[in-house]
Structure 1
Amino acid sequence: MSTLLRQEIFKLRHQNIAWITMLFNILVMTIFAVFAKLKPEWISAKGQIMNGFNSTMFLAFFLISVTATIFASEFQYGTIKALLYRKYYRGQVFASKVLTLLLYSILNYILIFGYTLLLKVVLFNNVNLSGKAGTTTVLGHLGLSLVGAFVGIWMILALVLLITNLFKTSAAAITIGILGYFAASLLQLAQAIAIEKWTWLKWNPLNMLNAGAQISTPDLHEMTHFSTPMIVTGSVVYTLIFLALAYVIFKKRNV
């Protein structure tokens, strides 16, 4: 298993998109930071710091793409046969890829956190990290924002893995993943009205996509009809269900 994990990390390290993702995020964060410095009347430096300079949205697109291709590329180029014809079980192959994605996503969120603090120190000495920001501090809001984004995107990534293994293509998975990423916000009003009328609808996966936003904005519980711990738990459960279904499909599919 450890050998498989090292191999997956090695393959990801040698994919251009792995490095482009990090460089693009740094570029985007730098651009927003410079704008906030030069045009404080347009962009709030404090708000930018609390939200990681808008980097999590762009990171989501890249993570969806990486997730969609990590399995699809193996089938596209036939390299999956080499893996499965060796001594490894399908469960080990699947787990090594999921763990690689998990480690890669964690690394990116750590990079965003660290670079946000660096930009703050270099450009925004006037912003106090321990200053009040709602019910927490600026630094606390940054942490909650990144944790929320991580929880939210992993439910999407699990769905992308499911779609990739179901259709053997990355295109469908990327499309559904991106649509799913925006679905919660696009359908927020309609969903809130429906849940108000039929309370049981609050258990639907689209509502659980609000978990990430609710972590940093607890007032969303009035719309989701869940406490923050409950909706986070629901999001994690859906993530595990999607991963389990993806594994079942991967285990049964022909190569």
Structure 2
Amino acid sequence: MLTLIRQELYKQLHGKFYIGWGIVILAITLFSGYSYQRINTDGVNSVSRIFYNGNSMAMIAMIIFASSILTVDFSQNTVKYLFARQFSRGKILISKLITIAVMYVYLTIVNFVTTEISNVIFNKNGAWNFTDVFTKIEATSFYLFLLLSMVLLISNIFKSNAVAIAIGIVFVYVSQTINSIISLFTENHSWIKFNPLNFLNVNSEVMYGESMFKQVTNLSLIQIEVGAIIWGIIFLLITYVVYNRRNV
């Protein structure tokens, strides 16, 4: 297992993903800092806003990263090397999940650093609201656990990272709209609220509170967090079944 994890991290170090997206997040946070010093922020903590924007870009990066981590081995035929060394497909999948988690932690740290750089340059080293920041990290973590498990499954079924990227990004921007429509049917069919798309609202409900979003999701904060984890695990198990049956 450690050998597989080292191999995955080695591939990422040479793939330059971490450098490219680090630069993108730096650019976004710097632009955000420059913009917020010139406009009225309506009493909202500017540092938090800068961090939120960097975090949004990190989410896009994670969708792109997760969508290709399984398909790239098949497209480059490196999967034959892995199977030749008699690694089980389960261990290969777990090593890739660990790599995804490591990359998420890395991008979060990059966002902290670049936000502080932007804060010092443009915001006169303003005070951090760590309650807001860590709530955002909590919300994003639940959200990405569910969304990326869906992205992994989609990329594995369609054998295309492009399809997974497109669907993942669409979910980021229109999931709330979709669920606003779905919520109209929950009055007569309460079971509809347990569909996985509804649990993608976990990001908003954690961030803005149960009182505001329960009317959309019809789920309490605990229910939507636990549900996001359960659905994420279900999608990962299905991903394993599909991955285990794929032909080389």
Instruction: Verify same fold: TM over 0.5.
Output: yes
What is the DSSP-based 3-state SS (H/G/I as helix, E as strand, rest coil) of the residue aligned with 1:237? Answer: helix
CA distance in 2, matches of 1:40, 1:109: 26
1:15-94 pair list within 5 angstroms: 15-37=15-37, 39-41=38-40, 43=41, 46-51=44-49, 52-94=51-93
Does structure 2 retain, via aligned residues, the 8 Å contact 1:71–1:164? yes
Q: Is the 8 A contact 2:25 2:54 kept in 1?
A: yes
Task: Report the Cα distance in structure 1 between the residues aligned to 2:194 and 2:97, rounded to whole angstroms.
Answer: 25
Q: In structure 1, the residue corresponding to 2:39 is in which secondary structure?
A: coil
State yes or no: 1:156 paired with 2:154: no
Contact 1:211–1:235 (CA under 8 A) maintained in structure 2:
yes
What letter is aligned with 1:251? N
How far is 1:210 from its partner? Answer: 0.5
- Counterparts of 2:26 and 2:185, CA distance in 1: 40
Alignment-mate amino acid for residue 69 of structure 1: S
Q: For 2:28 and 2:208, how far apart are their aligned partners in 1?
A: 24
- Asked if the contact 1:214/1:228 (under 8 Å) is kept, the reply is yes
Aligned length: 245
Alpha-carbon distance in 1 for matches of 2:78, 2:114 = 36
Superposition deviation, residue 152 in structure 1: 0.9
Gaps of 5+ in 2: none
1:236: Cα distance to partner? 1.0
**Pairs within 5 Å for 1:97-108:** 97-108=96-107
Post-superposition offset of 1:95: 0.7
Match of 1:246 in 2: 239
1:140-219 maps to which residues of 2 (within 5 A)?
A: 140-218=131-209, 219=212
**SS of aligned partner of 2:186:** helix
Rounded to whole Å, the distance in 2 between the matches of 1:212 and 1:224 is 12
CA distance in 2, matches of 1:253, 1:62: 26
Instruction: After TM superposition, give the deviation of residue 242 of structure 1 in Å.
Output: 0.9
Aligned residue for 2:203, secondary structure, equals: helix
Aligned amino acid, residue 253 of structure 1: R
> Does the 8 Å contact 1:145/1:213 carry over to 2?
no
State the secondary structure of the residue aligned to 2:118: helix
Counterpart amino acid of residue 147 in structure 1: E
Match of 2:220 in 1: 227
Give the TM-score, by structure 1 length.
0.88
State TM-score, norm by structure 2.
0.91
Post-superposition Cα deviations, 1:173-215, rounded to whole Å, max 9, x if no partner, equal: 1122112222322224312322234222110111100101111
CA 1:34/1:165 → structure 2, altered by over 3 Å: closer, same or farther? Answer: same
Partner of 1:3: 3
Which range is displaced more, 112-121 or 77-86? Answer: 112-121
Structure 1 unaligned residues grouped into runs of 5+: 130-137
In 1, the alpha carbon distance for the partners of 2:78 and 2:63 equals 21
Whole-angstrom CA distance in 1 between matches of 2:124 and 2:244: 53
Taking only the aligned residue pairs, the percentage that are identical comes to 25
Aligned counterparts of 1:27 and 1:150: Cα–Cα separation in 2: 23
Q: Which deviations, in whole Å up to 9, do the C-alpha atoms of 1:50-98 show, x marking residues without a partner? A: 2414122222222111111111111011110110111311111111111
Aligned residue identity for 2:59: A
| TM superposition shift of 1:24 | 0.2
